[in-house]
């Protein structure tokens, strides 16, 4: 019995509509962003079957159910012993009266405590960061945990891989977690070298062909290195020679990383152990990873974890709280600026209250469409008096927020929807007036070397450029 063409066409249409309606219902019920839901509705009804496949492959970006299953039904079971994280009682009076509202906001939306007794050392570019990180790895005696979005197989990547392999051979427990997409080009070579040396290596949500879900979203964008549970490094840098600013490569980028000492290192280790468990179903615990920590400085810090396994867009909410609490000044430097409407409103409202709000962006961006999207948003903050400066090349990959020369936010998250909603991110907040003053003066020096962008500049864009930028802005929920 043969099936006629009309019957095939009818069956195809029925399958298309069933899948489209199922996808549309799911998007309407569960998508937080109305624009994102609208884009998926357009896709599933415009592209027969393929649109529905795209939605179920790329559009489901929450993993609470899978995380709960892997964590044994507990939300977050990894908490360092109290003796590991001293300093809880010394933080009540160190936050100024003006910023206590911000403290209350962060207390409400984060799950980690604020810890005193920490020391943060800024490390500018690979020239300062990589030697310090490699020295810590060479001195390791018990454990090394490293998470990186990118781990290039270049001169820098090979030096890190060799140092980690050497540490493993001398008996150090080495655990390396690389993102399944960010490090996909170098994972096999890095992994072979490390596994041969006895290290543990894992890919975070790798692509699986031909079966398996294509997780282009849900990327682990965190940058965490912890040595012996005592010395931490975090910030914006991946493992790549592109962060060596003095090289002449057109791909070089300016960036900022931090060495971290004190009780806050236990929180960094805690986040790594959660990610490691999610990737490998193995729990890292004990004094090799969580030794007792001393009070070593004056910085009061807290880790802020954000990702598709969290209940809220926590870094997003903390940034809004910081803008609402600021009394004098807010400086923001970010490589990508694709803000939510809430962020735009918070920046504008801070300026209307009399706060000096300064936004520093790169004039050259490694992903050109991210610059186009940023230009499409800038007029909304410029019209309320926010000052915007474009740094000349090389690409500025730095991520830093300073409020009232007292509070800092540093880490892996950009000011974009992907960092707020789709990526696994890790930032540190720090109450440290000395460090905030030092880095504030550094940002002021960057402003002097930058070109200020005005509302007239944005309005003067040719029509076709404004059209291009506006079209890219439509995809802001997924940029």
Q: Has residue 83 been placed in a domain?
A: yes
Task: Please choose, from the candidates 11, 30, 120, 73, the residue with its C-alpha nearest in 3D space to the C-alpha of residue 410.
Answer: 120
Distance CA 225, CA 203 (A): 16
How many whole angstroms separate alpha carbon 222 and alpha carbon 219? 9
Tell me which residue has tokens 């980028």: 253
Q: Do residue 287 and residue 370 come from a single domain? A: no
The verdict on 19 and 72 lying in the same domain is no
Question: Do 226 and 124 fall into the same domain?
Answer: yes
Residues 276 and 179 in one domain: yes
Please give the structure tokens belonging to residue 403. 């409020």
Residue 132 tokens, joined? 């310090």
- 225 with 78, same domain: the answer is yes
DSSP-assigned states of every residue in 250-274: TT-EE-EEEEEESTHHHHHHHHHHH
**Distances from the Cα of 60 to the Cα of 93, 98, 199, 227, angstroms:** 43, 40, 33, 35
pLDDT of residue 191: 82
Per-residue tokens: 121: 């050392």
State how many domains the chain has.
3
Q: Are residues 118 and 26 in the same domain?
A: no
pLDDT of residue 66: 46
> Which tokens in the block code for residue 304?
């802020």
Answer yes or no: do 384 and 464 share one domain: yes
- Residue 357's CATH number: 3.30.870.10
Per-residue pLDDT tens listing for the chain (479 residues): 454 556 666 776 776 677 777 777 777 777 666 766 777 777 777 777 777 777 766 666 655 434 434 444 444 545 665 556 665 544 556 677 778 889 888 988 887 889 999 999 999 999 999 999 999 999 999 999 999 999 999 999 999 999 999 999 999 999 999 987 866 667 778 888 999 999 999 988 776 654 445 556 678 899 999 999 999 999 999 999 999 988 877 788 999 999 999 999 999 999 999 999 988 889 999 999 999 999 999 999 999 998 776 666 899 999 999 999 999 999 999 999 999 999 999 999 999 999 999 999 999 998 999 999 999 999 999 999 999 999 999 999 999 999 999 999 999 999 998 888 888 999 999 999 999 999 999 999 999 999 999 999 999 999 999 999 999 998 887 77
Q: Which of 401, 446, 403 is nearest to 427 (CA)?
A: 401
- What's the rounded Cα separation, in Å, for the pair 253 and 18? 48
* 32 within domain boundaries: yes
Instruction: Please give the pLDDT value at position 180.
Output: 77
Regarding whether 353 and 248 lie in a shared domain, the answer is no
Residue 330: inside a domain, yes or no?
yes
Cα–Cα distance list, 424 to 51, 74, 287, 353, 412 (Å): 26, 19, 26, 33, 9
Is 271 in the same domain as 130? yes
Can you give the residue range of the structural domain that contains 28? 5-60
Tell me phi and psi for residue 12, to 5 degrees. Answer: -60, -45
Q: Is residue 415 part of a domain?
A: yes
Looking at the fold, whether 53 and 170 belong to one and the same domain comes out as no
Same-domain check for residues 267 and 381: no
DSSP 331-388: EEE-S-EE--HHHHHHHHHHHHTT-EEEEEEESS-SSHHHHHHHHHHHHHHHTTT-EE
Domain boundary among 301, 334, 363: 301
Considering only CA atoms, give the Rg of the chain.
23
Buried b (16+ CB within 10 A) or exposed e, 285-304: eeeebbbebebbbbbbbbbb
Same domain, 271 and 324: no
Tell me if 105 is assigned to some domain: no
């Amino acid at each position: 019995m043969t099936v006629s063409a009309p019957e095939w066409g009818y069956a195809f249409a029925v399958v298309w509509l069933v899948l489209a309606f199922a996808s549309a219902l799911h998007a309407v019920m569960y998508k937080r962003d109305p624009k994102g839901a609208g884009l998926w509705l357009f896709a599933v009804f415009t592209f027969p079957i393929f649109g529905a496949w795209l939605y179920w492959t790329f559009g489901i970006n929450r993993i609470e159910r899978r995380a709960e299953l892997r964590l044994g039904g507990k939300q977050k079971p990894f908490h360092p012993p109290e003796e590991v994280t001293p300093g809880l009682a010394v933080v009540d009076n160190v936050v100024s009266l003006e910023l206590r509202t911000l403290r209350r906001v962060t207390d409400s939306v984060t799950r980690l405590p604020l810890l005193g007794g920490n020391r943060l050392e800024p490390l500018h570019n690979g020239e300062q960061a990589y030697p310090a990180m490699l020295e810590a790895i060479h001195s390791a005696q018990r454990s090394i945990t490293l998470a990186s979005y990118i781990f290039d197989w270049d001169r820098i990547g090979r030096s890190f891989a060799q140092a980690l392999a050497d540490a493993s051979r001398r008996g150090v427990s080495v655990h390396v977690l690389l993102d399944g997409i960010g490090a996909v080009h170098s994972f096999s070579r890095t992994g072979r070298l490390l596994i041969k040396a006895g290290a543990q290596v894992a890919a975070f949500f790798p692509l699986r062909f031909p079966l398996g879900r294509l997780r282009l979203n849900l990327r682990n964008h965190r940058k965490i290195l912890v040595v012996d549970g005592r010395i931490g490094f975090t910030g914006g840098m991946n493992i790549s020679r592109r962060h060596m600013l003095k090289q002449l490569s057109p791909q070089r980028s300016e960036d900022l990383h931090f060495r971290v000492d004190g009780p806050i290192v236990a929180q960094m280790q805690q986040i790594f152990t959660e990610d490691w468990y999610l990737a490998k179903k193995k729990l890292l615990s004990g004094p090799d990873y969580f030794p007792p920590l001393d009070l070593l400085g004056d910085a009061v810090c807290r880790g802020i974890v954000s990702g598709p396994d969290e209940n809220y867009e926590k870094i997003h909410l903390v940034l809004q709280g910081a803008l609402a609490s600021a009394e004098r000044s807010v400086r923001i430097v970010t490589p990508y600026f694709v803000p939510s409407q809430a962020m735009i409103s918070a920046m504008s409202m801070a300026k209307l209250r009399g706060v000096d709000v300064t936004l520093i962006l790169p004039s050259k961006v490694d992903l050109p469409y991210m610059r186009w999207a940023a230009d499409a948003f800038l007029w909304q903050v410029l019209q309320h008096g926010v000052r915007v400066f474009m740094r000349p090349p090389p690409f500025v990959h730095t991520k830093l927020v300073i409020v009232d020369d007292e509070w800092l936010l540093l880490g892996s998250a950009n000011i974009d929807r992907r960092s707020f909603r789709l990526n696994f991110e890790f930032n540190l907040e720090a109450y440290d007036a000395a460090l905030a003053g030092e880095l504030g003066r550094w940002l002021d020096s960057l402003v002097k070397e930058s070109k200020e962008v005005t509302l007239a500049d944005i309005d003067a864009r040719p029509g076709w450029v404004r059209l291009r930028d506006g079209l890219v802005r439509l995809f802001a929920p997924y940029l």
